[in-house]
Structure 1
Amino acid sequence: MEILSSAYDLLIGYIVPFLFVLTIVVFFHELGHFAVARWCRVKVDAFSVGFGKELFGFTDRQGTRWKLSAIPLGGYVKFAGDENAASVPDRDRIAAMSEEERATAFVAKPVWQRAAVVAAGPIANFILAVAIFAAIFGFFGRTVIAPVVETIQAGSAAEKAGLQSGDLILAIDGKPIETFADMQRIVSVSAEIPLDLEIERGNTVQTITVTPEYRELTDRFGNVQRLGLLGISRSPQDDDLIQQTFGPLEAISEGAKETVYIAERTVDYLWGVISGREAADQIGGPIRVAQVSGQVATQGILPLLSLAAVLSVSIGLLNLMPIPMLDGGHLVYYFAEAVRGKPLSENIQDIGFRIGIAIVLLLMVFATWNDVMHLTRL
């Protein structure tokens, strides 16, 4: 019974939330490819959520096989003339096509249409993120806290800079601050970077320069985050809480801002890894996503939807990396074709795809290794 109970907890606590989040993100990514392909009159052979053996599916009037496959770690859209799910052309099949069939093959379309189809997947991920955030803001609003300093830790960056309890933060480096969260977001990504804080103290406005310290924080689930910290805190009181409501257009605008922030933070982290400023151990794979999904699911459906939006942005950015096999790699090929007036040679493309497979596999192994090491530290 204990084994069955543990298996049930694993299924409900981690696997179901993980599949919920991943399926939403993958479906919309592939739907972006599919929708633009149909608009460009490309024949779509298959639309699959998951890889491997088909569990069940159906074929629509246009001849597309919609299916759910056994390995739920991604998905693909396969176009007429493709050899595999990565849209590598099947040259033998293309050569054997009739003129009518060739006209609907992906490889036969103008370069701008192929680029549009490929770019539509990541773009759909960004649109999904905006839509999720906009829906949350539009229906539920947002509760925020005024950016007032309450408690200052002894020996912290805030104390060294001369911040005092009761100071109201008006702006950081010229950027207006409306909420305590606005301040936290800027500070968290600015470790060891001097910031000019415009504050209101009493009836005067003054500027104080403070340099956030680099700290490691562990949340209640045992996850470690490396952030910039000032060493100030705020205990929300009823009269300090501000309930913000948004109309439809305002909600969409806030959703777009949230999506841009996540994208900027992700790119900044990846650049930090490349430049050696950030540790690469925060890069995770399916195990970490499943773990985080289960943790977030304990907080309710809205945090889980927010996680889906964050993951959607991450997958959109990942697919735009200029690596053959990924959407970004295809876009590089199409850019070269547009500049040269003809495609790259088949040999160069094949070499690129092989290199791309190797890079993607190495990234998967590295991410999985990080996941395993993370679990051993919990």
Structure 2
Amino acid sequence: MIENISGFVGSAFGYLIPFLLVLTVVIFIHELGHFLVARWAGVRVLVFSIGFGPELLGRTDRHGTRWRIAAIPLGGYVRFLGDANAASGTDHEAIEQMSDRARSETFAAASLPRRAAIVAAGPFANFILAVALFAGIFAFVGRPVTDARIDTVQEGSPAATAGFQPGDIILSINGDAISSFAELQRVVSSNADRALGVTVQRSDGQVQLNVTPERREVEDGFGNKMNIGVLGITRSFEDGDIQRVYAGPVEAVKLGMGETWFVVTRTLDYIGGLFSGRESTDQLSGPIRIAQVSGQAATVGAAALIQLMAVLSVSIGLLNLFPIPMLDGGHLVFYAIEAVRGRPLSERIQEYGMRIGVALVLMLMIVATSNDIAHLWSL
């Protein structure tokens, strides 16, 4: 019994520490984006907080900003002069009692373009972080590249039905060049139940094949299950088929941007699939699952953990751009309406919007956490 408890505690800490490291860096960069642009725009920042709730550690800098680490590490915020709360609601009563100089340093007094820039800077900073992390992996860790050569074709699989043969080298899919087996897997896994036009190289020349990846539940080396598209083929491991490629600085940044864009498009495609019924909500993950994956990535190595950090940074940046009141994207929608109308929406309408936003975010958290619990229960 004692050994079981000790093992559980050790496993929990093994997940918790990498999770906190990943989440803290991503949140810090997000809030730093808001902070830096606010300072540039002349808005005074009162609080820069990593986490919510009671303060654990903190210090006040010479500009009067309180930098703090709070007890609940699932988020963060930057509070500006004139804000009523961490959600950047305006404290009109407090602003009216300020001097003209202090009032000019409030978020509410900033011009519309500057307010929009401050809000957009958080997600933008997350995308920059992701590009930098991906670029660092491509430059310093490199990537194993395996020729997209087929070794075996499973009987009765989509590949067999379409006419793929051992020894085929896949050149392109839907007209886009394929340079490695990993790239092939990425395209196929994200196109379940969608017809693909594939060009392959055979000894007798190029052949055009049409195949529809089958949606199948697969399990990774850690027991995590995912619903992805598969063809039913395995790669070739002949001498010379595998090599590690390192990118130069410019190429690494380009690859980092491409990787970031892939995460964005894959996420948007999944969300579109939720509305069309093509995808299931059981793939949504919350903090428990993210903590588990963080711990698993840490056991693989620093590169895997950094890659997870980059993916999470993209996800948080993109999520915050959704047009949901309470999120950065919701604020940007309000500002867009203000730009068209020439005046902001009434406080009452914005308050109702915030309530709807809170309800939507809570629903999302409930679904994701339920999936996390169901996943743990199945282990």
Q: Could you state the TM-score of these two structures normalised by the residue count of structure 1? A: 0.97
Where does residue 224 of structure 1 map in the other structure?
225
Distance verdict in 2 for CA 1:214–1:7, change over 3 Å: closer
Please give the residue correspondences for 1:313-328 in structure 2 after superposition, counting only pairs within 5 Å.
313-328=314-329
Where does residue 149 of structure 2 map in the other structure?
148
Please give the residue correspondences for 1:342-361 in structure 2 after superposition, counting only pairs within 5 Å.
342-361=343-362
Distance verdict in 2 for CA 1:93–1:7, change over 3 Å: farther
Q: How far apart, CA to CA, are the structure 2 residues paired with 1:374 and 1:140?
A: 32
CA displacement at 1:7 relative to structure 2? 5.5
Where does residue 45 of structure 1 map in the other structure?
46
Where does residue 58 of structure 2 map in the other structure?
57
Output the amino acid matched with 1:335.
A
Secondary structure (helix, strand or coil) at the match of 2:118 reads helix
CA displacement at 1:236 relative to structure 2? 3.0
Q: How far apart, CA to CA, are the structure 1 residues paired with 2:221 and 2:243?
A: 26
Where does residue 291 of structure 1 map in the other structure?
292
The alignment status of 1:252 with 2:250, answered yes or no, reads no
CA displacement at 1:370 relative to structure 2? 1.4
Please give the residue correspondences for 1:1-378 in structure 2 after superposition, counting only pairs within 5 Å.
2=3, 5-6=6-7, 8-378=9-379
CA contact (8 A) 2:149 2:236 kept: no
Secondary structure (helix, strand or coil) at the match of 2:122 reads helix
Output the amino acid matched with 1:166.
G
Secondary structure (helix, strand or coil) at the match of 1:106 reads coil
Residue by residue over 1:66-103, the C-alpha shift from the partner in whole angstroms, topping out at 9 and shown as x without a partner, is: 01111111111101111111111112111211110110
Output the amino acid matched with 1:21.
V
Residue by residue over 1:160-181, the C-alpha shift from the partner in whole angstroms, topping out at 9 and shown as x without a partner, is: 1111111111111100010011
Secondary structure (helix, strand or coil) at the match of 2:226 reads strand
Q: How far apart, CA to CA, are the structure 1 residues paired with 2:72 and 2:284?
A: 22
Q: How far apart, CA to CA, are the structure 1 residues paired with 2:351 and 2:271?
A: 28
CA displacement at 1:242 relative to structure 2? 2.2
Q: How far apart, CA to CA, are the structure 2 residues paired with 1:238 and 1:17?
A: 37
CA contact (8 A) 1:152 1:159 kept: yes
Distance verdict in 2 for CA 1:312–1:373, change over 3 Å: same
Number of positions where the alignment pairs a residue of Structure 1 with one of Structure 2: 378
Distance verdict in 2 for CA 1:231–1:4, change over 3 Å: closer
Q: Could you state the TM-score of these two structures normalised by the residue count of structure 2? A: 0.97
Residue by residue over 1:113-132, the C-alpha shift from the partner in whole angstroms, topping out at 9 and shown as x without a partner, is: 00000000001111100000
Q: How far apart, CA to CA, are the structure 1 residues paired with 2:166 and 2:314?
A: 37
CA displacement at 1:219 relative to structure 2? 1.8
CA contact (8 A) 2:50 2:75 kept: yes
CA displacement at 1:5 relative to structure 2? 2.8
Distance verdict in 2 for CA 1:149–1:347, change over 3 Å: same
CA contact (8 A) 1:146 1:242 kept: no
Q: Identity over the aligned pairs, expressed in percent?
A: 56
CA displacement at 1:371 relative to structure 2? 1.0
Which contiguous aligned blocks of 4+ residues in structure 1 show a shift greater than 6 angstroms?
none
Output the amino acid matched with 2:133.
I
RMSD: 1.3
Q: How far apart, CA to CA, are the structure 1 residues paired with 2:306 and 2:138?
A: 12
Q: Structure 2: where are the runs of 5+ without partners?
A: none
